[in-house]
């Protein structure tokens, strides 16, 4: 009887150690949705040849509310982001107004849900989980990447999500919290890395941490818009839109980047298709006259720059070259 019991315990433990990737993702999703945590995390964004670093202190109540205080870079130190009731607001303690981020990032638990669905549909695959340690905590490393060479039967190739080249997750074995996450758009070159360098479980949290201070009024953050019409209200030249777009392309957001006093802004229309992303840049009456070829660009991206009347256009994306040219043609007057 004892032998049978021991065998059962042995196999049960063996099974526990070999949980499937989807089960780990579900654990992480549950932790993301329900745990009360705080800590410090560092995000690094690859920007061309340089890396930008953001350090932030955070307090999170599951998926309900979150507070972020920026620690670095020094020029942004002290900015506070608050998530509550479905809104992200940002303010500085010295200011009497807060800015509402108009484009909501997809919450972490929904990102994980998406990953789970893509794995279950056979679009994304996971390497077997590997046990490792990070900052003294035992965790499981999951590496997710697009399944190759083609999606399984029944899944249309057009339904592929523009999933990054790979997403690696370091999931804390004890809590399910994702301690580190790396997103690469190109093999072996992390484009975004977020790591929790200090983690507190069930920290002391007060409700007013997730409220704006009294007297602070919220208004929309300028610079990012959902539609061209919204952006056109602040842009001093007619924004041009392509007459041709690839099938199922959707406009994800419009960014307006001001380039200094007296200079017209650059408008960026960022599109997504079921399998690619591309951005259309347009600058008006630009004074940049010395034209040179860009010296370096990622091979996976197709790039085209051209001038038409008073506009300088740029198209950047992982669309086929022919599609890029078709869009470019459709913008010419």
Binding residues among 78-117 for other proteins as defined by CB under 8 A = 81, 83, 86, 88, 90, 101, 103-108, 110-111, 113-114, 117
Binding residue for other proteins, selected from 93, 203, 213, 298, defined by CB under 8 A: 298
Positive or negative: CA dihedral 288, 294, 297, 303 = positive
Residue 101, token pair as written in the block? 């981020």
Closest CB to other proteins among residues 1, 322: 322
Report helix angle 108-120 to 21-34, nearest 10. Answer: 160
Closest CB to other proteins among residues 62, 314: 314
- At its nearest, how many Å lie between other proteins and the CB of residue 1? 48
Closest CB to other proteins among residues 10, 323: 323
Q: Judge contact between 74 and 87, C-beta under 8 A.
A: no
Concatenate the DSSP letters of all residues of 27-63 into one string. Answer: HHHHHHHH-EEEEEEEEEEEETTEEEEEEEEEEEETT
Does the protein bind other proteins through residue 265 (CB under 8 A)?
Answer: no
In the window 217-246, what residues touch other proteins (CB under 8 A)? Answer: 221, 223-224, 243-244
Binding residue for other proteins, selected from 24, 59, 91, 281, defined by CB under 8 A: 281
- At its nearest, how many Å lie between other proteins and the CB of residue 177? 11
13 backbone φψ class: left, alpha, beta (φ>0; ψ -120 to 50): alpha
Stretch that binds other proteins, among 8-16, 18-26, 47-55, 127-135 (CB under 8 A): 47-55
- At its nearest, how many Å lie between other proteins and the CB of residue 123? 8
In the window 136-175, what residues touch other proteins (CB under 8 A)? Answer: 159, 161-162, 164, 167
How many residues contact other proteins, by CB under 8 A?
Answer: 92
- At its nearest, how many Å lie between other proteins and the CB of residue 94? 17
Binding residue for other proteins, selected from 140, 141, 179, 312, defined by CB under 8 A: 312
Binding residue for other proteins, selected from 97, 127, 174, 308, defined by CB under 8 A: 308
- At its nearest, how many Å lie between other proteins and the CB of residue 164? 6
Residue 157, token pair as written in the block? 């190739």
Give the bridge partners for 83, in sequence order.
66, 88
CA distance 1 to 15: 21
Place of tokens 């994306």: 317
Binding residue for other proteins, selected from 59, 170, 210, 278, defined by CB under 8 A: 278
Binding residue for other proteins, selected from 47, 188, 262, 299, defined by CB under 8 A: 47
Q: Residues 181-185: contacts with CB within 8 Å, 24+ apart?
A: 185/298, 185/300
Closest CB to other proteins among residues 36, 121: 121
Stretch that binds other proteins, among 3-11, 129-137, 228-236, 302-310 (CB under 8 A): 302-310
Does the protein bind other proteins through residue 192 (CB under 8 A)?
Answer: yes
218 exposed, middle or buried (CB, 10 Å; 0-12, 13-18, 19+)? middle
Closest CB to other proteins among residues 6, 198: 198
Write down how long the chain is. Answer: 333
CA distance 21 to 144: 9
215 exposed, middle or buried (CB, 10 Å; 0-12, 13-18, 19+)? exposed
User: Strand, coil or helix: what is 290?
Assistant: coil
Does the protein bind other proteins through residue 68 (CB under 8 A)?
Answer: yes
CA distance 218 to 314: 34
């Amino acid at each position: 009887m004892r032998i049978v019991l021991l065998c059962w315990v042995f196999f049960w433990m063996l099974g526990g150690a070999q949980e499937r990737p989807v089960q780990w993702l579900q654990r992480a999703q549950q932790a993301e949705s329900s745990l009360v945590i705080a800590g410090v995390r560092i995000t690094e964004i690859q920007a061309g040849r340089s890396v930008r670093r953001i350090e932030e202190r955070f307090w999170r109540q599951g998926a309900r509310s979150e507070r972020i205080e920026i620690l670095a870079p020094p020029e942004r130190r002290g900015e506070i982001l608050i998530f509550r009731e479905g809104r992200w607001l940002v303010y500085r303690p010295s200011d009497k107004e807060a800015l509402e981020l108009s484009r909501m990032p997809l919450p972490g638990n929904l990102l994980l849900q998406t990953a789970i669905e893509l794995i279950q549909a056979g679009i994304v695959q996971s390497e077997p989980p590997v046990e490792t340690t990070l900052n003294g905590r035992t965790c499981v490393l999951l590496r997710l990447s697009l399944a190759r060479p083609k999606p399984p039967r029944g899944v249309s190739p057009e339904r592929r999500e523009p999933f990054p080249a790979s997403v690696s997750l370091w999931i804390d074995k004890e809590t399910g919290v994702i301690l580190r996450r790396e997103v690469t758009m190109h093999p072996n070159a992390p484009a975004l890395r977020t790591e929790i360098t200090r983690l507190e479980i069930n920290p002391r949290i007060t409700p007013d941490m997730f409220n704006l201070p009294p007297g602070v009024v919220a208004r929309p953050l300028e610079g990012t818009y959902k539609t061209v019409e919204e952006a056109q209200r602040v842009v001093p030249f007619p924004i041009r839109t392509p007459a041709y777009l690839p099938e199922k392309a959707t406009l994800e957001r419009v960014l307006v980047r001001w380039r200094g006093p007296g200079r017209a802004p650059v408008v960026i229309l960022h599109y997504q298709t079921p399998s690619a992303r591309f951005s259309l840049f347009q600058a008006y009456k630009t004074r940049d006259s010395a034209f040179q070829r860009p010296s370096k660009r990622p091979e996976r991206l197709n790039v085209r720059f051209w001038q038409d009347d008073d506009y300088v256009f740029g198209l950047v994306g992982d669309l086929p070259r022919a599609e890029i040219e078709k869009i470019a043609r459709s913008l010419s007057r």
